[in-house]
Amino acid sequence: MSRTDQTEARIATLSATPASQTATRPARVGVMLLNLGTPDGTEFKPMWRYLREFLSDPRIVELNRLIWYPILYGLVLTVRPKKSGENYARIWNRERNESPLHTFTRSQSEKLGAALRDLANVSVDWGMRYGNPSTGAVARKLVERGCDRILSFPLYPQYSATTTATANDQLFRALMKMRRAPALRTVPPYYDEPVYIEALATSIRKHLATLDFEPEVVLASYHGIPKAMSDKGDPYRRHCLETTRLLREKLGWGEEKLMTTFQSRFGAQEWLQPYTDATVEKLARDGVKRIAVLNPGFVSDCIETLDEIGREVCEEFLHAGGEKFSHIPCLNDTTEGMAVIETLVRRELAGWA
């Protein structure tokens, strides 16, 4: 029998087989929520381990290893763990003995799992790029549950090689160690998604309604990256500016009311400007007395929002002559925040669930 005849015979056999016998079970799909990560504790050793992993990532520090490692191990990891540990201790969730980022990411995973109960073949979990639960451990767990497809959701609205890309890198490293790796999809950046912009606008309106003052200026403060990375083609700055523009449009505010700034710079090189700390000091010196700050680039409140903005930037503004300051919380696991996550996950699961 020729190959053509064999193919035709096979098709005829399948056509004659009842549908109940040819139907296969739906593929099991794992959904992974991935965030940056935090240390396991505020003491020196867990802080040292976390910072070593974080600052050893070539996506984070692009210096030649021969130049950077002596600085990292000889200076940074000698001094920074103690200072960072003190900062984390101020915001630590002592009831659960974990960082707020752990608490919120777990809750987001649990709430998403409950929201997707209508999709019987979907399993939701969460992990961190640095620290625990590790990306690799969660990927293995999902595969052990029978998931042969994984939807990864790096929880960064604006793309940067320092966030979204390194999260994807780490997941692919985990899959490289598997004999039978699952199929993979990743949720793209969503800096301009209507559901995200609407959620931010709603959270701002709700928070401002609770204040006993009206801010003269609101800052949209994003985590910075070195300017050199942006100059080489990282689209992060453009994504941040577009988020702010769309948010102004949604709120009906002008550029003088909602400003974009960048925070959390590290080292001596130039980072994206304008800097958040320098901006609040200038606003205060120029006579602005009342401001509020939100962090559109952070899905969950963490050390950079609760301590850096909520304490450090607040103190800088008041010390420079400001009178009223408020930090607008991140979307976290609120109704608005979960609407963003669920909407994007359902869209990206199309054809799989």
% the chain with pLDDT above 70: 93
Strand blocks (E) in the chain: 29-35, 122-128, 149-154, 183-186, 217-223, 258-263, 290-294, 324-327
Give the per-residue pLDDT at 26: 64
264 closest CA partner among 46, 43, 54: 54
Is the predicted pLDDT of residue 18 greater than 90, yes or no? no
Helix axis angle, 135-144 to 166-176, nearest 10°:
50
Give the per-residue pLDDT at 346: 98
Give the per-residue pLDDT at 300: 98
Phi then psi for residue 184, to 5 deg, are -135, 140
Give the per-residue pLDDT at 14: 42
Q: Which residues make up the CATH 3.40.50.1400 domain(s) of the chain?
A: 29-191+335-348, 194-327
- Give the pLDDT confidence of 226-239 residue by residue, as tens digits: 999 999 999 999 99
- Give the pLDDT confidence of 183-238 residue by residue, as tens digits: 999 999 999 999 999 999 999 999 999 999 999 999 999 999 999 999 999 999 99
pLDDT, mean of residues 81-103: 97
DSSP summary character for residue 273 = S
Tokens in use for 299? Answer: 């899905």
Rounded CA separation 261/76 (Å): 26
Give the per-residue pLDDT at 27: 81
Rounded CA separation 97/95 (Å): 6
Give the per-residue pLDDT at 268: 85
According to DSSP, the β-strands at 122-128 and 29-35 are: parallel
pLDDT band at 5 (very low <50, low <70, confident <90, very high): low
Cβ neighbors of 223 (< 8 A, separation 6 or more) are: 262, 263, 264, 295, 297, 298, 304
Looking at CATH, the fold of the domain delimited by 29-191+335-348 is given as Rossmann fold (3.40.50)
Q: What is the CATH number of domain 194-327?
A: 3.40.50.1400
- What is the residue-averaged pLDDT of the chain? 93
**DSSP-H helix ranges across 217-261:** 227-231, 236-251
Long-range contacts for 59-64 (Cβ within 8 Å, ≥24 apart)? 59/161, 59/162, 59/165, 59/166, 59/169, 60/162, 60/166, 62/226, 62/228, 62/229
Is the predicted pLDDT of residue 122 greater than 90, yes or no? yes
C-beta separation of 164 from 170 below 8 A: no
List Cα–Cα distances, 96 to 41, 104, 332, in angstroms: 11, 12, 17
Residues, the chain: 353
Is the predicted pLDDT of residue 25 greater than 60, yes or no? no
SS3 state of residue 170: helix
Q: How many CB atoms lie within 10 A of CB 22?
A: 9
